[in-house]
Amino acid sequence: ATAEEREACNEQVDKLIGFFTSDVAIGYDLDLQLRKTADCFATDMLCIKFIQGLPLVGVIGGPSNVFYCKKISDYARLKYQKRYLLQKEHQGKSQKSGGITVSGGEPLLQIDFLIELFTLAKESGIHTTLDTSGQPFTYDEPYFSKIEALMKVTDLVLLDIKSIDSRAHQDLTGHGNENILSFAWYLDSIHKPVWIRHVLVPGYSEVEGRLVRLADFVDSLANVERVEVLPYHTLGVYKWKELGMPYPFEGVKEPSQEMIEEANQILRTSENR
């Protein structure tokens, strides 16, 4: 898409968000505009999906996140508002309210929007799920007060723990896991239901007894309802090549079925906790 086409889509998104927030009835093909906007921003969305939250620093890691987040944040807001309104309309036709799940990227980087969205959802009796790595968590203010506000309107947290070992977590993501484990302890202290999800990466997950250590950590939490093992896959490698970026896990193979079964056994994924 040309710069002019993108600018036109930006203007339409701004107009539609204004209609939503002012409750003005409009005769407009919203689905058509969403498709047109998605086409214009397809490359930008691909970039943010693979840049945000990945182990990139310096020139790429910092400015790129801010640049791409700003370019598509209004479009994302419009898309979620559309989903909310459709759900609200459906609720009037059915006693089942359903639910919404917000993931990313990292949704906690958009915590103000999350609080607004989940508050609206809860007012309509809609179940809310947060899918997060927990990486932005801190007890520092003013962020912690926002976390507390968000948790009041969050029903379930899907928490990704890439590795129980901080050094391995640093190798996998570019960050240690201290604040992620702190987030898990905080969620336990407020009795917030949690599903723990672990990406099984050969050479990182199974060495040095890390799966057993992860299982012990999970067992120490009283709020965990479920544990899931997500096998590492290489389906997205081509996207890195298309972006001209070196793939950080070149040569890492997908886990064998035997390794997956062993991980499921150690983490007791079949159990209802």
- What pLDDT was estimated at residue 139? 97
Q: What is the pTM of this model?
A: 0.66
The more confident residue out of 41 and 199 is 199
CB 181 within 8 A of CB 217: yes
231-251 average pLDDT score: 88
Name the 3-class secondary structure at 230.
Answer: strand
Measured CA to CA in angstroms, residue 250 lies from 42, 50, 69, 159, 241 at distances of: 25, 15, 27, 26, 11
Mean pLDDT of 105-134: 93
pLDDT at residue 55, rounded to an integer: 42
Mean pLDDT of the chain: 79
Q: Which residue has the higher pLDDT, 264 or 26?
A: 264
Q: Please report the pLDDT score of residue 273 as a whole number.
A: 65
pLDDT on residue 98: 77
What would the mean pLDDT of 121-142 be, rounded to a whole number? 94
- pLDDT tens-place string over residues 208-222: 899 999 999 999 999
Which of 272 and 239 is assigned the larger pLDDT?
239
Q: What is the mean pLDDT of residues 83-89?
A: 56
